[in-house]
Structure 1
Amino acid sequence: MNNYKLTIQYDGGRYKGWQRLGNGEDTIQAKIENVLSEMVGRKIEIIGCSRTDAGVHALAQIANFKISENLTESEIKTYLNKYLPQDISVIDVSIVPDRFHARYNAKDKTYIYKIWNEEYTNPFMRKYSMHVDGKLDLAKMKTACQYFVGEHDFTTYSNAKSKKKSMVREIYALDIEENAGFIHVKVRGDGFLYNMVRKIVGTLIEVGLGEIEADRIPAIINSKERVLTGGMADPGGLYLEKIDF
């Protein structure tokens, strides 16, 4: 039995997220599983590391699956890229030890969120970033970032659909950079709850626009009241950038 690790890129704009939903075909997982199943002639299930939400993109999603066939990495990669939709690409296939598990072996994950911060829209990136036309105060946003770093109960920054037993997560780093009209929010942590990153970015935008003060964030986190987080950033600006094992 061979254990194969996939590194996958996708434009999540037309999908309902990573995770297969019943018999639905409009998820990333379903598309990949269907092609693999055709390849070997029986149903194949894959394990994905991060269950990205509907509309969210990935630069390096990781998944694994096991089959008894002795296929080369090149054969699998070529077959997948031939039959997958053009908005999903498998950029690497490698044989890994039998005990490798894409979800359980992940040490940390990095997401990046792209904000287009100009008065006018960006025609070429309108589906891949969030347009905020009001000038954002980066200094205030960077101050706000420090309140999220560390281990916290992020119930406030989760969605009601979150089914996790524990809402405690640790954010290792939260940084903001500006580059040619774009503001990039990069967050690295041990894991993230449903909608957590988009809710955090939504709060950072509110701070940047002067709608709330940065020093209110600890009280918002500790309140565990989801209604206090305000707006949630659009899904199209969010990318799963990297996973470390």
Structure 2
Amino acid sequence: MKKNYKMKISYDGTRFFGWEHQPKQEMTIQGKLETVLSRMVGAPEDQPVTVIGAGRTDAGVHAKEMIANVLLDTRMSEEEIQTYMNRYLPEDISVNELKVCADRFHSRFKAKGKTYCYSFWYADGGVRPTFDRKYVTVLDKRPNVDRMRKAAEEIVGMRDFKSFCGNSHMKKSTVRLVDSIEFKIRGPYIRIYIHGSGFLQNMVRIIAGTLLEVGYGKRTPESIAELIEARDRKLAGPTAPAQGLCLIKVDY
């Protein structure tokens, strides 16, 4: 009899083409998880195990705590399943927790909110982040964070974020709730924490790229309200590089 298992997973997205399984593309997080679990339970090739994630991170994006669930028919204990997965998964994917959960639990549909962090780096003298280079976006000059904070105030709330959507063919609603945007500065690190009920494709990265333009004086904090009202992706800033983005937590 199949049981539903909830997993907490972390991964370095550098080498991967995102979370979602893709035909003829082995290097996805979901694909690696499904391959290992299918082999573990001896699933037929035409009936592989399906892992459901709380979201679909893009290529190069990292996760500190992605939540996923999977239905498995096995006599192995929770600890044995977790140990097996971590033994055979690539070293840049880790299953940090695995527990039996309610049959009705669905990691995506039951999620109430997510927290992302976008990390910039600036240091005088062009000092580079030797060890963190894969997890930050390096800046050539220091932005004005106070201006960025002021601009972020216009983003918080229930808004139509079509101007911040990377999918130009999006037919569903682009209205989302952003609960909070917080800036944390520590040494050369400028980190932007964004919490919301859900996010559009590339939304956090476009927000980060737009706020950076405000920090550089390329647009005013007050212009963000007009940008949101325009509902035009071409008017927003660039999509910040994937490497600076990390999924921090999923709320249920």
Q: TM-score, normalising length from structure 1?
A: 0.97
Matches within 5 A, 1:160-199: 160=167, 163=170, 165-199=172-206
Match of 1:101 among 97, 100, 106: 106
Identical columns (%): 42
Counterparts of 2:15 and 2:22 in 1: how far apart (Å)? 15
Q: How many aligned residue pairs are there?
A: 245
User: SS where residue 176 of structure 1 aligns?
Assistant: strand
- Measured after TM superposition, the shift of residue 161 of structure 1 is 5.4
Q: Structure 1 residue 222 and structure 2 residue 229: aligned?
A: yes
Mark the CA change 1:152 to 1:125 in structure 2 (over 3 Å): closer, same or farther.
same
Task: After superposition, give the CA deviation of every residue in 1:35-64 in whole Å (9 maximum; x if it has no partner).
Answer: 000000001001000100000000000000
Unpaired runs of 5+ in structure 2? none
RMSD: 1.1
Counterparts of 1:160 and 1:126 in 2: how far apart (Å)? 28
Match of 1:232 among 235, 239, 243: 239
Unpaired runs of 5+ in structure 1? none
- Measured after TM superposition, the shift of residue 164 of structure 1 is 5.4
- Measured after TM superposition, the shift of residue 230 of structure 1 is 2.2
Matched residue, 2:152: 145
Q: Structure 1 residue 123 and structure 2 residue 130: aligned?
A: yes
Matched residue, 2:33: 32
Counterparts of 2:80 and 2:207 in 1: how far apart (Å)? 41
Counterparts of 2:86 and 2:138 in 1: how far apart (Å)? 32
Matched residue, 1:157: 164
Mark the CA change 1:162 to 1:129 in structure 2 (over 3 Å): closer, same or farther.
farther
Whether the 8 Å CA contact 1:2–1:70 is kept in 2: the answer is no
Q: TM-score, normalising length from structure 2?
A: 0.95
Whether the 8 Å CA contact 2:41–2:73 is kept in 1: the answer is no
Whether the 8 Å CA contact 2:151–2:221 is kept in 1: the answer is yes
User: SS where residue 198 of structure 2 aligns?
Assistant: coil
Counterparts of 1:60 and 1:40 in 2: how far apart (Å)? 25
